[in-house]
Structure 1
Amino acid sequence: MIASNRLARQPLPPPSARSMLLTVIGEFLYDAEEGAWTAALMKVLGGMGIEDHAARQLLSRAASAKWIKRERVGRGVRWHLADHGRALAADGIKRSHAFLDGPSPWNDEWLVLTITVPQRKNSVRNRLNGGLTWLGMGNPTPGVWVTPHVDRARELSELISTLGLTESALVLTGNLRPGGLGNHEVVDRAWDLTDLAESYQTLLTQDGASEPGDDDELLLAYIELVSLQQRFMRLDPQLPKELLPEWIGRDGAVLFQRRREQWSAQAHAHWLRVVEESAPK
């Protein structure tokens, strides 16, 4: 396999090798009871530009993190999703459906978090900020995070509990009242979407400029597509039309949906062939 590099100009910074592995296992192992041979994963990761020794380290670290688990079969090793990896994949699939379907009509309710993290807990703060961004939350004023996606309250509570911050957090839902910021002022302060809009524009202007030639290229292009969608999902708060009437990100979601429908079946079929051909002789 040869790395695809379909886009001449990358709309977002490249993903880490760890992120690419999570994309592959989440997409192809989630519903695959048979798992995947080491050689199949190595071949695909190699196609994404990850060298053999780095790919083997990646698999070992993913196993230590409980993303995947080994099954020794004769002289070979087959990999399956472990419980933590399955939970991560399920969360990604759920968020992907929401991203591709677009936000539901908004009922004027916000999910609000007020929280303080001690200065000495930098690593906790970084994990919190990353988790809040994944939940689509913005930061309009110091110590306050908001999102119009009130259905993510359970996930927010789990994040706070996991980080041990329950005693310094207040979570609530409700409408804004006169006397403070209005809905659109909250949006302006909580999210700066200028760079993200430019990234979407870079993506959209290159669609169709280069098509995959054979099955190997299509499989890699599909993996790159899913990875790119995941990175856009992490950055895009997916605000409803009531708060952001014109948003290029919705055109981006349509592109991802169309390309996934176009390539998914063929990519998954070729993946199964790669797994079969990689079985120990």
Structure 2
Amino acid sequence: MSASPRSLIVTAYGLYARAAGGALPVSGLVRLLATLDIEEQAVRAAVSRLKRRGMLQSTRVDGAAGYALTGVGARVLAEGDDRIFRHQPADVSDGWVLCVFSIPESLRAKRHLLRGKLTWLGFGQAAPGVWIAPAATMSATTAMLHRHDLHQYASLFRADYWGDRPLAESVTLWWDLPKLATMYRQFVRDHDTDADADPLPTWMRAVDDWRRLPFLDPGLPTELLPADWPGIRAATLFHDLELRLAKPAGDQAARLLAPSLPVPGTTATPSTSTIASSSHNPATPIPAAAG
């Protein structure tokens, strides 16, 4: 998967900024992204776009120019934490949430927005205007509807399945499981890496690619998934990468993200303790996008 500079910057803030007060120096961000072959001009342009979108705001980091997460940016990151790093399959006995909506043609932009947000929460389409997801999605769906002022067009229901068709067959009609399986297989191909790979760029690219998948995966009960479901292998690989790479990648990031680096030939060393403390652990992950 090919990652954009903007996406990689969001990943960097999720992994390394929050425990450091939510701010990173521009110079450090440029050094960090250089390890992923992103040029300075592209970094600065992407940061500007994130600022215009309300994700970042200008600040100073130990006297150096930097950008901090806005309240919106911090919320976007926080909301995806559990889903990305602790995404678990649903229990079939928990039932389902149905989102039933009707939006007139004159408001088709809102209809398009709602469909996109439901897809991003892992919903499948059971019928025109009727979308379905595991019941655990209820609270996130309610929050999304209110955040985007869509609640007046949609009704949510808790439901059990009573159809004659086997449930495992029905889910193949509601979700494009072959497409999702292809994405998981691609993740495995891209990130089943050599043990000697450079930790920082390897870990950042893995997180950047992975963080989209749990938002597209409805988290169906295991017994409803096809045999040899590649999502299981992909999740195992991701968590293996986390155990192997997160700590050394965080140490590298701490050195690169320091507001200033020592002049070659001197012994001055910038403080990296704060940034190092934000090296990824399951309490400080990064989501895919705003809900």
- Name the CA distance, whole Å, in 1 between partners of 2:60 and 2:261: 12
The answer for the alignment partner of 1:261 in structure 2 is: 243
The one of 93, 97, 111 equivalent to 2:97 is: 111
Of 48, 51, 63, the residue aligned with 2:39 is 51
Paired residue for 1:230, among 208, 211, 225? 211
5+ residue gaps in structure 1?
1-11
**Which of 54, 65, 85 is the aligned partner of 2:53?**
65
CA deviation vs aligned residue, 1:179-220 (integer Å, no higher than 9, x gap): x7653343021111113223323433565453454xxx3211
- Asked if 1:172 corresponds to 2:151, the answer is no
For 1:19 and 1:121, the matched residues in 2 are separated by 30
Q: Which residue is equivalent to 2:113?
A: 127
Q: Which of the numbers 193, 198, 202 marks the counterpart of 1:221?
A: 202
Which whole-Å CA distance do the structure 2 matches of 1:58 and 1:206 have between them? 24
Q: Tell me the alpha carbon deviations over residues 78-111 of structure 1, each in whole angstroms, 9 at most, x when there is no partner.
A: 3332211111111121211332xx3243315111
In structure 1, what residue type is equivalent to 2:252? H
Amino acid at match of 1:117: I
Do the aligned partners of 1:37 and 1:279 also contact (CA within 8 Å) in 2? no
In structure 2, do the counterparts of structure 1 residues 91 and 16 end up closer, same or farther at CA, with 3 Å as the change threshold?
same
Residue 158, structure 1, aligned to residue 125, structure 2: no
1:127 aligned partner, one-letter code: L
Letter of the 1:44 partner, please give it: L
Pick the aligned partner of 1:239 from 220, 229, 236: 220
**Letter aligned with residue 240 of structure 2:** R
Confirm or deny: 8 A CA contact 1:110 1:174 kept in the other structure: yes
Which residue number corresponds to residue 180 of structure 2? 196
Number of equivalent positions: 262
- 1:146 pairs, out of 125, 132, 152, with 132
Give 3-state SS (helix, strand or coil) of 1:69's partner. strand
* 3-state SS in 2 of match to 1:31: helix
Q: Which among 24, 29, 32 is matched to residue 41 of structure 1?
A: 29
Query: 1:205-262: CA deviations, max 9, x gaps?
Result: 565453454xxx3211111000111122233222111322632201111110111111
Whether the 8 Å CA contact 2:64–2:259 is kept in 1: the answer is: no
Q: TM-score normalized by structure 1?
A: 0.82
Q: In angstroms, what is the RMSD of aligned CA positions?
A: 2.5
User: Is the CA contact (8 Å cut-off) linking 2:61 and 2:259 kept in structure 1?
Assistant: no
* 1:72 Cα deviation from its structure 2 partner: 2.6
Partners of 1:64 and 1:202 lie apart in 2 by 32
> What amino acid is the match of 1:235?
L
TM-score for both structures, normalised by structure 2: 0.80
Counterpart secondary structure, 2:93: coil
Q: Deviations over 1:46-100 (max 9, x none)?
A: 333433223212212322333223323576213332211111111121211332x
Deviation at 1:115, TM superposition (A): 0.9
Specify the alignment match of 2:11 in structure 1.
Answer: 23
For the 8 Å contact 1:197–1:248, the answer to whether it is kept is yes
Q: Structure 2: which amino acid aligns with 1:259?
A: L
State the Cα distance separating 1:26 from its structure 2 match.
1.1
Q: What SS is found at the alignment partner of 1:250?
A: helix
Q: Whose relative contact order is higher, 1 or 2, with alpha carbons under 8 Å and at least 6 apart? A: 2
Percent of aligned pairs sharing the same letter = 27
* Deviation per residue, 1:15-67 (Å, 9 max, x gap): 33322221111111121127321111112233334332232122123223332
Distance in 2 of aligned mates of 1:141 and 1:23: 35
Where does residue 210 of structure 1 map in the other structure?
194
